[in-house]
Every structure is written in structure tokens, then in C-alpha cells.
Structure 1
Amino acid sequence: MTDRALAVVRAGALTTVQDRGRPGHAHLGVPRSGALDAPAAALVNRLVGNHPGAAVLETTLTGCALRPRCEVTVAVGGAPCPVTVDGRPVAWGAPVRVPAGALLDVGTATSGVRAYVAVGGGVAVERVLGSRSTDLLSGLGPPPLSDGAVLPLGCRVPSPARVDVAPQPAPPAELVLRVTLGPRDDWFTRRAVRDFTTRAYRVSSAGNRIGLRTEGPALERALTGELASEGMVLGAVQVPPDGRPVVFLADHPTTGGYPVIGVVRAADLPAAAQAAPGTPLRFVAVRHR
């Protein structure tokens, strides 16, 4: 058995393998998937000397604990959290050497939702349709981590470049999502469209990698009929029968039958990935460009 591997001691609430995802397969019903906070995943890869698209671990709220079978360089970023090696505090947001057999513990997020753990060489699980990402909707890719699982690592990489500062944006105290209205905003009353872009919402605890759910004013439909299933894109804001908007994230379905009132700018989605339940949320209408 290879010694280039990680043993999972504590899987946490939800820890998955993620890379840049598998774009280009929506016509087959396959979502893109990939890291929800892509800039954070790319940064931790850079810190350990990996290619930006190397597979990392994405944790959710409670972190995870890992025991490498060989000496590795790791970096933890995304949601701020305590990081220890054999109980000793080590740097968050910087490359750290972890000896073979030592316990790397990525603790509970102090703010934000998702931390990213990069390991020199990358997580080398089998690719499916060109990606190592776990897709919770389709079931493609490796399953979410479980206690006792063993993850293979890629080949050792050269020592990472020394960095003094690796700035990362703080998780949002208020989430502001710029949205282009349409294609089905005409399925809602004028008042509902106005409420959508002017009233306050909060991030719901019911969200996941498929979609960010909201709490706030229900949006009234002007048309009550059934809508034929249509293609769905990343950032689409779908409104189910309860009237509360849902922002589609990386594991979203490729088709849907509820009307889409607008589409969130892709640049705003990493912040959405780090918005903890209860975070105030505003949708701001912008022109398409």
C-alpha cells in the first residue's frame, strides 16, 4: 500500500473532494460541481505548490482531522478556523509541514462555512468525466469523506514559494448578491419583483452545495400555471412554491420546472459559499453585460 496517502480520522459534518469541477456536461444532466469558494481553493493550492486545479478537501462548519502516512505540506484557507498538528497550534492560511503519522486537525469555523485543505501533490482519487469532484446531486465522484477512509495523494511537489502574507476575504457580515432579472421575472407580480430587489432576506440553515436557501418575504406569482422544465445555470435564483428564493450553487440540477426570477453574478458566488446561516442577504438588480 502506498505511503502517499491520508487517513481520515474525523470526517466532520460534510467533507468532500473538490477541484475545478466538470464543466461541459450539462447536456448529459451532469452539473459542474467543484469547489464552492473557488478562489479559496486556488489559493491553498498555490500555498503548497500545487497546480490551481489540483483536488483539495472542502469542509463544512466542523472541519476534519487527517493523519498523513508520509510527510506532507498542507495549507488551510477559506473559512477561518483553528488548525493544530498533534495538538499544537499551527498557521492558518500558510503552508505547514506535517510529519508522517501526525494528526492534522482542522477545527470548527470561527466564521464562514467552508474551509479548504490543500496537500502537496493534491488528492489523487480517480477522475470521473475529467474531475475528481464529489457531486452530491448526481453522485458522481468519490463519496463524502467518512471516518477511516484513506485518500491517495499525487506525486510530491517541489517546496512551495515562501510567502509572508496570503490575504483572503473575510466571510460576509452581510451578503450582497448582484442579480440580473429574468428570464422568468414576468411570472411574478410587480410587487414581488420589487420586494426581491429591495427587501431584506437571511441565509437559511437548510442550504447545501446544491443551493443557498433564504428566509424572508415570499414572492407572489403572477402566473400560476406549470412551467415546462428548462435549463438551469450556476447562480440561477429559482423560486419554489413556498415563494422563498433559492440560489443555485455548484451541484445544482441542470434542469428545473420552477421559474427563475434572476441570475446572480458568478463573482458573488464565493461569498455566498461562506455566508453562515442567519447572515443578512440583499439581492441588488443590475443590468446584464
Structure 2
Amino acid sequence: MITVLSPGAQLLIEDLGRPGHAAMGLSPSGALDARALRLANRLVGNAPGAAGLELLLGGAELEFAAAAAVAVTGARGPVTLAGTGRAGAARRQEEAANRPLAVPAGGRLRIGPAASGLRYYLAVAGGIEADTLMGSRSADVLSGLGPAPLRAGDVLRTGQAPAASPEPAWVPAAVPPARRIAVRIQPGPRLDWFTPQAWQCLTGRDWTVSPESNRVGVRLLGRPLERAVGGELPSEGMVTGAVQVPPSGLPTVFLADHPVTGGYPVPAVVVPADLPLLAQARPGQQVRFLGQPKTALATA
């Protein structure tokens, strides 16, 4: 059993999500930085899709009733383990990220404020147990489906620890960028709804991550994109990574908890491999889009 002493800004149970159910109105959900969750699971010997914890910004503290192997990945910040030594004296020590940690029975793990990146991922050997929906234990903050956000006093169950041994040492992992984030985009289905200069405007300058960003999408601030076609679209399907532009002209990049349909035009889509970068983008951070317009792709 694991007791949540403090959930920090937001503490969620997430696995790799439930893709393929858009026709039923279900977003894919799952860990926003799937790469970080897979790494954490690898470090403790779990299957890649085992459920773990996603922590926004830090500030969480967990108490373990039994000894456990854990790993913290994703954002970078202080990780402190408090437990009891062989002589029975209390001890505290700073632990490094991206390697397996042995938590003793009664141990408390505290994850401090993130110095870089936005979201930590915590895996426990055996995975976090929770009710499943369409084969996933992921929380979806837009619909409210899946496990509820964790609160102080909540008690978590873990599954049977795997027979495979955890990774024995530190594993290299991507460091969340502290300054500008560069992500690749491809032309979207409604690029022609914007002026011929829109693609250059989209890729030729930096955008700023808005504080209003969340698991639904990363809202961007900057000079608005100009439309060439008036009116609005009938609702159409949306994918993770879609760059949707509302009447304000300011783009929003849809993340895992996005609505499955939308009526605003999508001039571009982020390459899936670069979505973990946006999952770790902090408010005020700069984002630069990289890519070629449709005309350039057609003549290449």
C-alpha cells in the first residue's frame, strides 16, 4: 500500500492510454510524456504500459507500507527518500532521477519542485492498481473518466512485482529543455483556410506557452494567424498533436485529453515523436515549429 501524504499540484494515475476509441467519444488520454513513463517502468522491471503516477510541477510526498522498487523520470528536481537505517535511526538522502530506488517499509518519498520540465513520472515495481476503462487505468481530466485525481489520504495498491530484475544502474534520458523547444510539424487538413503567409508565420517565429495550458492542450501566445476563409467548419475528427486555431488566431496543440472532435481549422499537426517535448513545456517557455508547407512537400 502507498499512502498519498501530499499530491502536489496534480497527481494522476496514468498508463499509455486508450487509443482507438474516438468513435465512442473517448480521447486517448494516458501519460503526456509517454517516453518518460516507459523509461520509469523499464527501470523497475515493469511492462512498458504499466500504470504509474504523473505529477505536475512536484511537491508530492508518498509513504510506502512495504519495501518497494521505484523510479522517477521526466521533469528534473529534488527527490528525497526518508526511511530508517539499520540501527533504527531516521535518515534522509537525496536520490538521483532515472535509476531504480529502493524504498524501505515505512519510507517516505518526496518529489520537490521541478527545476526543468513540467511533469514527473513515478513507476513502482508491479504497477499501480486501479479500475480500468476500455483496458486503461488512465485519468482523463476533460471528461472526468478514469481514476480521480489523487488527494491527501488516498491509499494506492500495487500489483505483483515482476520477476525480472530492475535495471541495475542509471539509464540516460532526455533532459527537458530549459529554453526554447523545437517541435516538428506537418501540414494539417485545413492549411488552405489560412493566408499564404500563415505557414511562414507559424514556423518563422517563437510562440510562448500560456499558463492556461493543461492536459487537454498547450495554448500558445504570439501574433495571431490570419484566416483566408471565413465562417466555421462542421465538427470533424481531431488527433493528438493537432494544431487547432480558434477565432483568436492563437494556436492550441492538442494533447492526450483533447476532445475527439472540433470545429476550428487545423493548419498543422505536431509529429508524434515530439509530443513529449510539449508535455514538459513550462508556462512562459518559447516554442518554435519546424516544417515545410504543403506546396514545398508536393514539389520535393
Scaled by the length of structure 1, the TM-score of the pair is 0.95
What is the alpha-carbon distance in structure 1 between the residues aligned to residue 165 and residue 149 of structure 2? 28
Whether the aligned pair in 2 keeps the contact of 1:19 and 1:132 (CA below 8 Å) is yes
Structure 2 counterpart of 1:98, from 86, 100, 103: 103
Look up the match of 2:9: 13
Whether the aligned pair in 2 keeps the contact of 1:64 and 1:106 (CA below 8 Å) is yes
Look up the match of 1:64: 60
Deviation at 1:165, TM superposition (A): 3.1
Deviation at 1:129, TM superposition (A): 0.9
Structure 2 counterpart of 1:222, from 228, 238, 249: 228
**SS at the partner of 2:9?**
coil
Look up the match of 1:258: 264
**SS at the partner of 1:45?**
helix
The structure richer in strand per residue is 2
Look up the match of 1:112: 117
Whether the aligned pair in 2 keeps the contact of 1:211 and 1:248 (CA below 8 Å) is yes
Superposed CA RMSD in Å reads 1.5
Whether the aligned pair in 2 keeps the contact of 1:10 and 1:146 (CA below 8 Å) is yes
Look up the match of 1:169: 174
**SS at the partner of 1:270?**
helix
Deviation at 1:189, TM superposition (A): 1.3
Look up the match of 2:249: 243
Unaligned runs of 5+ in 2: 83-91
Structure 2 counterpart of 1:206, from 180, 188, 212: 212
Structure 1 residue 189 and structure 2 residue 195: aligned? yes
**SS at the partner of 1:79?**
strand
What is the alpha-carbon distance in structure 1 between the residues aligned to residue 222 and residue 168 of structure 2? 43
Scaled by the length of structure 2, the TM-score of the pair is 0.91
Structure 1 residue 30 and structure 2 residue 26: aligned? yes
Which shows bigger deviation, 23-32 or 179-188?
Answer: 179-188
What is the alpha-carbon distance in structure 1 between the residues aligned to residue 169 and residue 10 of structure 2? 31
Look up the match of 1:51: 47
Look up the match of 1:42: 38
Which shows bigger deviation, 270-279 or 49-58?
Answer: 270-279
What is the alpha-carbon distance in structure 2 between the residues aligned to residue 31 and residue 15 of structure 1? 19
Whether the aligned pair in 1 keeps the contact of 2:42 and 2:167 (CA below 8 Å) is no
**2:51 corresponds to which letter in structure 1?**
A
* Identity across the alignment (%): 51
**SS at the partner of 1:114?**
strand
Q: C-alpha offsets along residues 196-220 of structure 1, whole Å, 9 cap, x if unaligned?
A: 1212211122111110111111011
Deviation at 1:62, TM superposition (A): 2.2
Structure 1 residue 127 and structure 2 residue 132: aligned? yes
What is the alpha-carbon distance in structure 2 between the residues aligned to residue 27 and residue 159 of structure 1? 38
Q: C-alpha offsets along residues 10-35 of structure 1, whole Å, 9 cap, x if unaligned?
A: 00101111111001100011000011
Which shows bigger deviation, 58-67 or 248-257?
Answer: 58-67
What is the alpha-carbon distance in structure 1 between the residues aligned to residue 109 and residue 164 of structure 2? 19
Whether the aligned pair in 2 keeps the contact of 1:83 and 1:106 (CA below 8 Å) is yes
Q: C-alpha offsets along residues 108-165 of structure 1, whole Å, 9 cap, x if unaligned?
A: 1110000100011100111111000001112111011111111111012236344333
Structure 2 counterpart of 1:281, from 283, 287, 296: 287
Deviation at 1:63, TM superposition (A): 3.9
